[in-house]
Chain A
């Protein structure tokens, strides 16, 4: 990991213009961030790491600060990348820290708070999730906590915006009179002894003492609410496992029907009736008919297919995937899947935690493979990466597959999901046997279910769509340009003639389908979309889908594989995906032919 210099976007922001927002994971930090900084924020990558953090403007009184949402951690021991980043930010220093404490879980939160105090940065504490604590019958004496910590403590319920104004007011006061926060008189308790001690065990003891000192237990004031009950039920084997399948089915349903609905109702008419005719008219007005005009606005012209494919086909499915996925993520549901299926994953040589990367891989393989760095062993990383490359289509490919297969017959798409699952199991199992090493067992906090805050959720969705459009549009345009030139210049017909034995005889596809194989190298969904324009039988559609599913995972994934695992492994994955895709696709065709 790099030292000192942080990020691109805030290189110009000096440490004393920064305010760090810190705390444990799952304490509602991002809600504070959204409430304080509004919708405009930058998501940045900490140089040399995969850790993303958000950054936005926070006006305090007359001064402007940059509020940095430091990744949530449990400690500062630097055992994970997120912790290293947190330590790096603390070392660089800041004007102040806003530290979010989970009132329902004070002891563990205070451990981190006390560790951070060793950096001597003025800190204001928010006692958040007070509503949850109250429901559990916990009463916290915040005045006493203030004395124990020797710093302002503001009670908050961030999702309801309670206490946020007071937080900023007291922050302003603290920044104006930095000496003042020392003056809150000391209650002469254990935390003071800790001041001198630097040992970690002392931090735990001090945290425990403070938490016990300031908390009193009352009887529960209320029954568990619906989310508490659902949270407990959804992690039990029964009814948790049926719930998990239901959630996955719902996610697929939202993506397939939501995407298809938006495409049919709004995007196709927009593209076909408005955008494409406009460009046809525009270019026809000053470019003479011929190959050049065809490359621009012919049947496979750039200005035709780029809108048809990116806007009307890929965009709606990606949008609805992130609508569902971000919700599940903010809801706190995803770790439950890791717990429920840890036993199955363990048999495959990995652990339940790695399911997260696979689910992420449905969005895009690139962040999933990068994210799998957090996996604690190399063996687990390689297994997960192989499974993602072979068996998990990215979301725009899923959308294209849904469009292709459900246009033919309702059972083709579920059958493709079954095929994907089968391949996932086989690939994980084989990779688990081939790769030597150990896999670390599951250790995972199971958070409470919490209704996502609409504004933070909205912002996350927006950021993800921006990233997707930023990252994907370039390569898609390259694929589209190749498609346009190949199709309109007649080159495609020549290639199709030479690849006929493979494409037509072995795979049973029309010879033009070779364009899918060529374009699929650039982008995953491009191994499907050219097939949409062809007249295919059910079997041909399924074979095409299967080849696409298994086929090489796009250029960006290849680049990531080279970066993360060296060229050799990238080359092995690439060549074996292509060979296996063509082999399995042909096998399905040959077997299918016997029954038709």
Chain B
């Protein structure tokens, strides 16, 4: 994994990230979460709840913990 890549589920809120790796799930692709997509983390929820992402600063997608923790991201611009 390249330097600075972190797990999306533990990423910091409001920073802007680029997707580095993503599991092969059709719905994720279709919702535009692919390699190189720019996302920021808007909300997180206690007790193993999901994360809500802003994708390409255009729309919001909620991802459950189990899928968010399979996605790695790095800070955009790095």
Chain A residues within 8 Å of B, Cβ to Cβ: 74-75, 77, 79, 104-105, 107-108, 111, 200, 204, 232, 235-237, 335, 338-340, 342-344, 346-347, 351-352, 441-447
Contacts and interface: CB of A to CB of B under 8 A. Distances in A.
A428 B16 CA distance: 38
A110 to B, nearest CB: 11
Contact of B31 (A74, A339, A347): A74
A562 to B, nearest CB: 30
Contact of B47 (A343, A444, A447): A343
B4 interface: no
A347 B68 CA distance: 17
Given A105-B58, A441-B67, A446-B60, A342 B50 contact: yes
Contacts of B56: 107-108
Contacts of B61: 443-446
Given A339-B50, A446-B52, A346 B58 contact: no
Of B31, B60, B64, chain A has the most CB atoms within 10 Å of the CB of B64
Contacts of A344: 47
Interface string B27-50: 111111010000000110111111
Given A107-B32, A108-B32, A343 B60 contact: no
Given A441-B65, A443-B25, 19 more contacts: A75-B26, A77-B29, A79-B26, A105-B59, A107-B56, A111-B32, A204-B34, A235-B62, A237-B45, A343-B48, A346-B64, A347-B48, A352-B64, A441-B64, A441-B66, A441-B68, A442-B64, A442-B67, A443-B27
B63 interface: yes
Which 6 A-B pairs have CB atoms at the shortest separation, nearest pair first? A441-B64, A343-B49, A442-B64, A74-B30, A441-B66, A446-B60
A343 B45 contact: yes
27 contacts: A77-B30, A79-B26, A104-B58, A111-B30, A111-B32, A204-B34, A235-B43, A237-B46, A237-B49, A342-B49, A343-B47, A344-B47, A346-B48, A441-B50, A441-B63, A441-B64, A441-B65, A441-B66, A441-B67, A442-B62, A442-B64, A442-B67, A443-B31, A443-B61, A445-B61, A445-B62, A447-B59
A108 B67 contact: no
A351 B43 contact: no
A77 B30 CA distance: 9
Contacts of A74: 27, 30-31
Contact of B50 (A200, A347, A352): A352
Given A108-B58, A237-B45, A343-B47, A443 B34 contact: no
Contacts of B26: 75, 77, 79
Nearest to B63: A443
A447 B62 CA distance: 10
A338 B63 CA distance: 11
Chain A interface SS verdict (over half): helix
A446 B63 CA distance: 10
Interface of B: 25-32, 34, 42-43, 45-50, 52, 56, 58-68
Given A74-B31, A79-B30, A237 B43 contact: yes
Contacts of B66: 441
A204 B28 CA distance: 13
Of B29, B56, B59, chain A has the most CB atoms within 10 Å of the CB of B59
Contact of A340 (B29, B45, B60): B45
Contacts of A75: 26, 29-30
Contacts of A105: 58-59
Contact of B62 (A107, A232, A339, A347): A339
Contacts of B65: 346, 441
Nearest to A446: B60
B52 A339 contact: yes
Contacts of A442: 50, 62-64, 67
A346 B64 CA distance: 9
Contacts of A443: 25, 27-28, 31, 61-64, 67
Nearest to B53: A446
B64 A445 contact: no
Contacts of B60: 235, 445-447
Given A77-B26, A77-B30, A443-B25, A347 B63 contact: no
Given A77-B26, A204-B34, A343 B58 contact: no
Contacts of B30: 74-75, 77, 79, 111
A344 B62 CA distance: 15
Contacts of A335: 62
B62 A446 contact: yes
B71 to A, nearest CB: 11
Contacts of A79: 26-27, 30
Contacts of B52: 235, 339, 446
A97 to B, nearest CB: 19
Nearest to A342: B50
